[in-house]
Structure 1
Amino acid sequence: MNFLKLIRYQNLLMLAFMQLIFRYGFLKLQNIPLALADWQYGLLVLSTVLIAAGGYVINNIFDQETDNDNKPNDVIVGKSISETQAYNLYFALTVSGVALGFYLSNVIQKPGFASIFILIAATLYLYASSLKQMMLIGNVVVALLLSFSVIIIGIFDLYPATVIENQQQMKVFFSILLDYAIFAFMINILREMIKDIQDMDGDYNQGMNTLPIAIGKLRTCKIIFILSIIPILVILLYINKYLLDLLWVTIYLLLFVCGPLILFTVKMLKAYTKKEFYFLSLLLKWMLFFGILSVVVISLNMKYNA
């Protein structure tokens, strides 16, 4: 159980679920060729999960002192698992994930794409060791990495299967993946900023320079409040431009994505305690879940309309 906590298995399950939903709840329902066989796509998901798990492990290794201040009951490295064991686990997870990425890059005859997995693993290490201590940079890096886990589907499953005859069609589907990646980025950067507020005391003791430490909790809350309005407007504009003819999709997005986002924005104005920020962070995670699930609703609604 300590191992599962160390690798943040709930987040890994969400990551795997997200990638599986995009393939089997969206791309597989379209009349388009895909580059990877089902078992090869499974390896792509596994590779992503392994590298992400390695990222969580190395983050826990570097965060031992901070976690002792912020959440002493949840500290694993140095207590249940030794630092040496944690490092060995990090290397095993990361090397396995990168090796799978190297194999898949050769499967699609794009060996240079293996550098993507190396770059992701290196970025996770840099984040844990230094980037997370820099104001906003760490937040942006984590949000970008999550959004890239959507884009990588297009890189490995759509791009290699693209030919002149289906180029325009594939471009549309790739752009849809990009839209979801942008949505994931907007939600996740809000969540990372919320987590900075939650961990403010421990981060301050370790000399970190996160946004709430630099400008204070109240100012950070106001910035998050303003930023949270952006995805609401973007989703409403997106619905109006592309999805208004799809009744069920429109209702779904208004109820399960825009509604909670508006609730988040309102709650953000009055949030002050750790319990309130924990609720807001959890609310964002559920918004991300329902937002990703909307791609299935879109596929089914399109099929029904057709």
Structure 2
Amino acid sequence: MLAFMQLIFRYGFFKIQNIPLALADWQYGLLILSTVLIAAGGYVINNIFDQHTDVINKPKTVIVGKDISEIQAYNLYIGLTVTGVAIGFYISNVIVKPGFASIFILVAATLYLYATSLKQMMLIGNIIVALLLSFSVIIIGIFDLYPATGLDNQQQMGLFFSILLDYAIFAFMINLLREIVKDIEDTDGDYNQGMNTLPIAIGKSRTGKIVFGLSFIPLFFILFYINKYLFELLFVTLYLLLFVVGPLIFFTVKVWTAKTKKEFHFLSILLKCILLFGILSVVVISLNIKYNA
């Protein structure tokens, strides 16, 4: 999903708009690889510390301690993270901004802290994961737009960066909902491990009602955005109403009555689909603008 999002923004948006970009295609590929490797490292370290929880929550998908040993998992984590940070260091030097390498180190460190301690703090872990996903959108602007910005195109590049920021906000809101829904789904295993997630603190039912209330924020955000910026683009408006707004309304309705683990699992997948279709809308916007449909 991370790689797909980053590919979509470059080849489904920036390239179509024909704007100057700082990275060559193969260098942009390395940026994606760096992001994916660091995220994969975070996934591995999270699985290492979640072994006992996953045995209860996801017994069929347990890998660490079953398919590979804990030592092998630690070696894999170190290899993925170090390689990802090293590539990030190279890309930072390519754009003559060596200080930007600290971004990759900070992200890797945050993922480690999340797995070891932050995820056990009520809502803090959810917010961190949602922020990291949204940052994977912003990082495109930092490494591909910002270095190519000069006095002659500052206004144009600022507009594209603001669009990236809008999508990052959308990704944050949807992923925050998904993280809380996953906590509801995983309540039993998390409770046995002494974690302090929101559904453990206030109960599944109340947490579901909070998610219901929070789901109106991205819903109104998208409707406002369509009305203010996209209403004249017919195909974009129809696409967003059918593939983002409609499913989000369906999610809002279903989360109010959801009770079982199976129902919350379905809602988690639904949010991932909404995020995917939301990101794909940037291609629809580009084509709609280009062909003035």
Question: How would you bin the TM-score normalised by the shorter chain?
Answer: over 0.9
For residues 79-112 of structure 1, give each alpha carbon's deviation from its aligned partner in whole angstroms, at most 9, with x where no partner exists: 1100000000000000000000000000000000
Decide which of 43, 53, 67 is 2:54's aligned counterpart.
67
Count of aligned residue pairs for this structure pair: 293
Alignment of 1:14-163 (within 5 A): 14-163=1-150
Decide which of 193, 196, 215 is 2:202's aligned counterpart.
215
Alignment of 1:291-306 (within 5 A): 291-305=278-292
- Name the residue aligned to 1:173: 160
Q: Does 1:250 align with 2:237?
A: yes
Aligned amino acid, residue 225 of structure 1: F
Aligned residue for 2:152, secondary structure, equals helix
Aligned amino acid, residue 146 of structure 1: L
* Cα distance in 1 between the residues matched to 2:216 and 2:239: 19
- Name the residue aligned to 2:213: 226
Q: Does 1:194 align with 2:193?
A: no
* Cα distance in 1 between the residues matched to 2:58 and 2:247: 27
Q: Which runs of 4+ in 1 moved over 4 A?
A: none
* Cα distance in 1 between the residues matched to 2:70 and 2:278: 37
Runs (5+) with no aligned partner, structure 1: 1-13
Aligned residue for 1:33, secondary structure, equals coil
For residues 104-138 of structure 1, give each alpha carbon's deviation from its aligned partner in whole angstroms, at most 9, with x where no partner exists: 00000000000000000000000000000000000
Q: Does 1:265 align with 2:252?
A: yes
* Cα distance in 2 between the residues matched to 1:166 and 1:225: 42
Range 294-303 or range 71-80, more displaced: 71-80
Cα displacement (A) at 1:29: 1.0
* Cα distance in 2 between the residues matched to 1:189 and 1:133: 16
For residues 146-167 of structure 1, give each alpha carbon's deviation from its aligned partner in whole angstroms, at most 9, with x where no partner exists: 0000000000000000001100
Cα displacement (A) at 1:68: 1.3
For residues 173-226 of structure 1, give each alpha carbon's deviation from its aligned partner in whole angstroms, at most 9, with x where no partner exists: 000000000000000000000000011011111110000000111110000000
TM-score of the aligned structures, taking structure 1 as reference length: 0.95
Aligned amino acid, residue 34 of structure 1: L
* Cα distance in 2 between the residues matched to 1:41 and 1:259: 34
For residues 207-253 of structure 1, give each alpha carbon's deviation from its aligned partner in whole angstroms, at most 9, with x where no partner exists: 10000000111110000000001111110000000001100000000
TM-score of the aligned structures, taking structure 2 as reference length: 0.99
Aligned residue for 1:144, secondary structure, equals helix
Aligned residue for 1:291, secondary structure, equals helix
Cα displacement (A) at 1:60: 0.3
* Cα distance in 2 between the residues matched to 1:31 and 1:75: 45
For residues 34-65 of structure 1, give each alpha carbon's deviation from its aligned partner in whole angstroms, at most 9, with x where no partner exists: 00000000000000000000000000000011
- Name the residue aligned to 1:4: none
Runs (5+) with no aligned partner, structure 2: none
Aligned-residue RMSD, C-alpha? 0.7
* Cα distance in 2 between the residues matched to 1:31 and 1:49: 26
Aligned residue for 2:215, secondary structure, equals helix
- Name the residue aligned to 2:225: 238
* Cα distance in 1 between the residues matched to 2:113 and 2:50: 13
* Cα distance in 2 between the residues matched to 1:235 and 1:71: 33
Aligned amino acid, residue 284 of structure 2: V
* Cα distance in 2 between the residues matched to 1:162 and 1:76: 45
Cα displacement (A) at 1:73: 2.1
